[in-house]
């Protein structure tokens, strides 16, 4: 185990009907920006609950934050906050809305080209930010209990991550009943996103983090157990609650403590979304298995452990266990209705490897992953394996 520091101050409020607690958790006398996405919250009752619980605040609405939130859209919210002296943001939505609000939080008081906050990593240095809380409507990204985000600049097709300890939500309300109104596609996406987050903090090499490995496996086992079931029975509050809490625990910081991580699946996959607008989770399902195959020797020991403990694969040679573990992973994605080839999503895939190569090169990403091996060439090969 390596040295680490950890602090996660987000207050979680979990349970059916808990949106009403907004009234006690938004700081008194706040001028609130209510930020949300395409309007699904008006169909599932969440909007009405939020409005009822915030009636004692001055609320300005900002809708239209899209999946993979756009810098261009978010800057409109930034202007609105500046013009109206708003001092609290309430993000009501999934990871895209929450990530978008983290960017808004960073940008309001920044003086300069706000894209530099992500492109030059200046968000981390931004001291004055707008505090924000969230009402989660889609379990997937873990953004409701972490301090990172992703934004996309449409003009340049750039998708970028940013973060810093000032971007933890003050509070997040997790009401698992929101899952029952989600399209199955989005539930599946949430399962795969959470699953991959765990894998990226787990599937590296043996590092002696015995407790962290076990905790990662506990979330993987849970997702395997409940994933297809929650898609079948999204109104089962218990399954929904377990999915929601698993997705939060998958990326609230605990799994990565003191252990190596490999975020290269996300970094490659982000490019596919930027290029073809494929759902984020589906790009993960396209890339992850091929990344495991490409880096098989490096990740073999951990693949064996994963196969035995998560999938109960027993009795064969280590190599067979590791190979079967990858096949089980792909089959799990398929069982959720998620395709795992790029050509399932676009006909226009043939040059993608080269484009990803160029983008990695352009950003000087020469060594991602737990062994700093994933550069332009490997990324290209992994993408080409995914056609």
Question: Residue 68 or residue 252: which is nearer to a second copy going by CB?
Answer: 252
Is residue 27 a contact residue for a second copy (CB under 8 A)? no
Is residue 90 a contact residue for a second copy (CB under 8 A)? no
Instruction: Specify whether the CB–CB gap between 275 and 157 falls below 8 A.
Output: yes
Is residue 297 a contact residue for a second copy (CB under 8 A)? no
Chosen residue from 95, 139, 190, 209 binding a second copy by CB under 8 A: 209
- The angle that helices 264-276 and 184-200 make with each other, rounded to 10 degrees, is 150
Question: Residue 52 or residue 210: which is nearer to a second copy going by CB?
Answer: 210
Give the CA angle between residues 228, 264, 132 to the nearest 5°.
75
Chosen residue from 54, 146, 246, 264 binding a second copy by CB under 8 A: 246
Rounded to whole angstroms, the Cα distance separating 166 from 108 reads 14
Rounded to whole angstroms, the Cα distance separating 313 from 275 reads 37
Chosen residue from 215, 272, 287, 382 binding a second copy by CB under 8 A: 215
Backbone angles phi, psi at 97, to 5 degrees: -65, -40
Region of 17 on the Ramachandran plot (φ > 0 left; ψ -120 to 50 alpha; else beta) = left
Closest by CA position to 204, among listed 2, 358, 361, 5: 2
Chosen residue from 225, 232, 327, 362 binding a second copy by CB under 8 A: 225
Coil/strand/helix, residue 135: strand
Coil/strand/helix, residue 346: coil
Backbone angles phi, psi at 214, to 5 degrees: -60, -40
Is residue 24 a contact residue for a second copy (CB under 8 A)? no
Is residue 206 a contact residue for a second copy (CB under 8 A)? no
Instruction: Specify whether the CB–CB gap between 145 and 248 falls below 8 A.
Output: yes
- Smallest gap from Cβ 65 to a second copy, in A, equals 26
Stretch touching a second copy by CB under 8 A, among 13-21, 113-121, 332-340, 375-383 = 13-21
- The pattern of x and - marking residues 117 through 136 that bind a second copy according to CB under 8 A reads --------------------
Is residue 18 a contact residue for a second copy (CB under 8 A)? yes
Chosen residue from 56, 156, 238, 372 binding a second copy by CB under 8 A: 238
Number of residues that bind a second copy (CB under 8 A): 42
- Smallest gap from Cβ 19 to a second copy, in A, equals 12
Q: What DSSP string runs through 55-66?
A: TTSEEEEE--PP
Residue ranges that bind a second copy, judged by CB under 8 A: 1-16, 18, 176, 208-212, 214-215, 217-219, 221-222, 225-226, 237-238, 241-242, 245-246, 249, 254, 257-258
């Amino acid at each position: 185990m390596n040295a680490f520091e950890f602090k996660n101050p987000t207050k979680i409020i979990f349970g059916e009907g808990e949106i009403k607690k907004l009234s006690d958790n938004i700081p008194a006398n706040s001028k609130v920006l209510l930020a949300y996405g395409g309007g699904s919250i008006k169909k599932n009752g969440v909007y009405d609950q939020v409005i009822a619980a915030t009636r004692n605040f001055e609320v300005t609405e900002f809708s239209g934050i899209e999946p993979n939130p756009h810098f261009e859209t978010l800057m409109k919210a930034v202007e609105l906050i500046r013009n109206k002296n708003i001092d609290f943001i309430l993000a009501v939505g999934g990871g895209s809305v929450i990530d978008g609000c983290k960017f808004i939080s960073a940008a309001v008081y920044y003086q300069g080209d706000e894209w530099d906050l992500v492109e030059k990593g200046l968000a981390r240095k931004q001291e004055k930010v707008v505090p924000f809380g969230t009402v989660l409507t889609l379990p997937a990204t873990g953004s409701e209990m972490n301090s990172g985000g992703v934004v996309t600049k449409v003009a340049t097709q750039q998708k970028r991550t940013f973060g810093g300890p000032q971007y933890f939500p003050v509070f997040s309300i997790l009401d698992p009943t929101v899952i029952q109104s989600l399209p199955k596609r989005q539930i599946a996406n949430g399962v795969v996103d959470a699953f991959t987050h765990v894998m990226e903090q787990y599937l590296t090499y043996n590092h002696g983090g015995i407790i962290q490995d076990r905790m990662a496996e506990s979330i993987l086992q849970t997702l395997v157990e409940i994933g297809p079931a929650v898609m079948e029975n999204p109104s089962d509050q218990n399954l929904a609650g377990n999915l929601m809490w698993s997705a939060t625990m998958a990326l609230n910081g605990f799994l990565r403590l003191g252990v190596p991580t490999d975020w290269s699946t996300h970094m490659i996959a982000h490019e596919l979304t930027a290029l073809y607008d494929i759902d984020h989770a589906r790009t993960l399902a396209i890339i992850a298995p091929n990344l495991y195959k490409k880096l098989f020797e490096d990740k073999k020991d951990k693949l064996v452990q994963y196969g035995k403990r998560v999938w109960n694969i027993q009795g064969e040679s280590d190599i067979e266990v590791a190979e079967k573990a990858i096949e089980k992973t792909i089959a799990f994605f398929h069982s959720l209705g998620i395709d795992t080839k790029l050509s399932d999503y676009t006909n226009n895939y043939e040059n993608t490897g080269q484009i990803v190569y160029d983008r990695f090169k352009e950003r000087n990403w020469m060594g991602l992953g737990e062994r700093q091996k994933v550069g332009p060439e490997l990324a290209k090969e992994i993408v080409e394996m995914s056609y």
